[in-house]
Structure 1
């Protein structure tokens, strides 16, 4: 990490664990200002900028400031951001199917979008420089939202999410049951099961190789361990989800992008 840079994760309280995978905080007092590529990881997020919000590249390539509070829906393509000042963030990473009732609208309506939730979190405060207190403040706010909104989990969709993450086939369904479950899946997750499975497979690469010293051989080894058949298939995954090659990403990425990629989002031990 750079001087003063920090990234920390915190487990959500038991009442939120069916919905929230992890709470995390990040700070970079003197970021480089370089463009960073953020890859999909299968989880929507609520991200609160406590300092200077990032700028994000639009489809026209122009960088524009993000709102200070965003809901980032499922991603099927990379996001390019750059810091414009000191960074301090507190965020909640939802389970892939855990944010539907929080958002109170189909997750498919948020796919590849960053929704402005600044008005909804007006009045939310978190102490600067205290990661644990920041995470606790966000957990408390989310718990109020959970109780008021009667959040729930669809067992069938959760089963499909588990199967996608673990590369299992899931339950055998007849065509009518499969179509009905796919509709519920897109509503509660935001992408099709096949897309989520592809995102999870790509994300597993970073559990095996993330260092700047990684060469083509080590990236290929990581890709094979993640479930790719060969180097060309892995290369297509990098182009699809990061817009570059593995070695280009390892050479160029830093700060928040590298911190997010280096963390493991496996659900081992989740209640």
Structure 2
């Protein structure tokens, strides 16, 4: 990490664990200002910028500031961001199907979007420079939301999510049952089961990747361990989810993008 840079993860309290996968904090007092590619990881997130929000490039290629509080839905393509000043973040990474009750609307409406939640978190405060206290403050706020909102899960969708993450077959359903489940899945997760399965396979590559000096052979080995058949298949997903090759990403990415890749893609990072 750079001087003063830090990334930390915290397990959520027991009451939130069915919905929230991990709480995390990040700070970079003197970021480089370089563009960073954030890849899909299968989980929606609530992200609160306590310092200077990142800029994000739009479809027109123009960088614009993100709101200081965003809900980032499921991603099916990379997000390009760059810091414009000191960075300090506290965030909640939801389970793939865990944010429906929190958001209060179908997750498909947030796919590949960053929703402005500044008004909703107008009363939220967290102490600067204290990661554990920041994570506790966000956990307390989310727990209040859970209690007042009576959050619930769809058990059938949760089973399908777990099967996708483990890369095993889900329950056998007839065509009508499968179509009904797919509709509920898109409502609660934001993408189709097949897309989520592809994202999970892609992120498993980073469990086996070997760092910034990894060569093409190392990445291929990581891809095969993650479940890819060959290098062209993995390369297609790198272009789809990161917009570049594996070696180019490893060479160019830094700061938040690299911190997330080293932790986000590891399912049991806080265990």
State the TM-score, normalizing by the size of structure 2: 0.98
Q: Tell me, in whole angstroms, the C-alpha distance in 2 between the residues paired with 1:268 and 1:87.
A: 26
Q: Tell me, in whole angstroms, the C-alpha distance in 1 between the residues paired with 2:32 and 2:66.
A: 18
Give the C-alpha shift of residue 210 in structure 1: 4.8
Which string of whole-angstrom CA distances, capped at 9 and with x for unpartnered residues, describes residues 108-156 of structure 1? Answer: 0000000000000001000000000000000000000000111011100
Structure 2 partner of 1:181: 181
Report the secondary structure of 1:164's partner residue: helix
Aligned-residue RMSD, C-alpha: 1.3
Which string of whole-angstrom CA distances, capped at 9 and with x for unpartnered residues, describes residues 201-244 of structure 1? Answer: 00001111151110000000000000000000000010000000
Alignment of 1:1-271 (within 5 A): 1-268=1-268
Check 1:210–1:79 CA distance in 2 against 1; reply closer, same or farther (3 A cut). Answer: farther
Which string of whole-angstrom CA distances, capped at 9 and with x for unpartnered residues, describes residues 10-64 of structure 1? Answer: 0000000000000000000000000000000000000000000000000000000
Q: Tell me, in whole angstroms, the C-alpha distance in 2 between the residues paired with 1:220 and 1:270.
A: 27
C-alpha contact (below 8 Å) 2:210/2:218 kept by paired residues: no
Report the secondary structure of 2:70's partner residue: strand
Give the C-alpha shift of residue 80 in structure 1: 0.0
Q: Tell me, in whole angstroms, the C-alpha distance in 2 between the residues paired with 1:112 and 1:269.
A: 25
Moved more, 220-229 or 207-216: 207-216
Runs of 4+ in 1 over 3 A off after TM superposition: 264-271
| Unaligned stretches of 5+ residues in structure 1 | none
Q: Tell me, in whole angstroms, the C-alpha distance in 2 between the residues paired with 1:183 and 1:46.
A: 24
State the TM-score, normalizing by the size of structure 1: 0.98
Q: Tell me, in whole angstroms, the C-alpha distance in 1 between the residues paired with 2:205 and 2:2.
A: 24
Report the secondary structure of 1:213's partner residue: coil
Q: Tell me, in whole angstroms, the C-alpha distance in 1 between the residues paired with 2:210 and 2:11.
A: 24
| Unaligned stretches of 5+ residues in structure 2 | none
Q: Tell me, in whole angstroms, the C-alpha distance in 1 between the residues paired with 2:256 and 2:201.
A: 21
Q: Tell me, in whole angstroms, the C-alpha distance in 1 between the residues paired with 2:245 and 2:224.
A: 16
Report the secondary structure of 1:233's partner residue: helix
